[in-house]
Structure 1
């Protein structure tokens, strides 16, 4: 993403440089430098904005993935704790039953 932004900045600066080097009377009938400068400037700005948006969306996706993994881990830990609690409750019930009915 950083490479896109750097490339966009280079193209944008190139279009500004070309504009100042050829700053004479531009007409719409001429297909030449102004069109090339506009295209380069548009590409540069598009790459800068695209790089920023891509960087932000990638960061958001990574954070969402981390939250999802953490949630799954917590669910697994909860299931393990519930199993342990059920096992402990079963053992206590067996001990209570054994203490109430001693077989001599």
Structure 2
């Protein structure tokens, strides 16, 4: 989103430069149909492009976050299995120790 912000600032700076340093008859421009179509079309394309870029950045961020969550869950499951296995081994050792101590 940083690049889109930089591009937006540059476009605003360019439009401000054109507005202040050129002699335009604004009342004549707004009465021209082609100018109004160009403004609305350009704004529409800009919104579509901006929306796509926003979705793309969000999609990448969500995929990274989901990958981290999945990796963390896998790690927790592996730890839990290792603990269960260690508990079973300890239970077997305790049962053998009990047999030896009881003389059965």
**Class of the TM-score when normalised by the shorter of the 2 chains:** 0.5 to 0.7
| Alignment gaps of 5+ in structure 2 | 1-24
| Aligned ranges 1:1-104 → 2 under 5 Å | 27=28, 30-103=31-104
TM-score, normalised by the number of residues in structure 1: 0.64
How far off is 1:82 after superposition? 1.3
Residue in 2 aligned with 1:11?
none
- Measure the CA separation in 1 of the matches of 2:26 and 2:79: 74
Residue in 1 aligned with 2:18?
none
Moved over 3 A (4+): none
Worse overlay, 79-88 or 24-33: 24-33
TM-score, normalised by the number of residues in structure 2: 0.64
| Alignment gaps of 5+ in structure 1 | 1-23
In structure 2, the CA distance between the partners of 1:99 and 1:56, relative to structure 1 (3 Å rule), is same
How many aligned residue pairs are there? 81
Cα RMSD for the two superposed structures: 2.4
How far off is 1:74 after superposition? 1.8
More helix per residue: 2
The superposition leaves residues 19-51 of structure 1 with CA deviations (integer Å, 9 ceiling, x where unpaired) of xxxxx9861562501100101111122122211
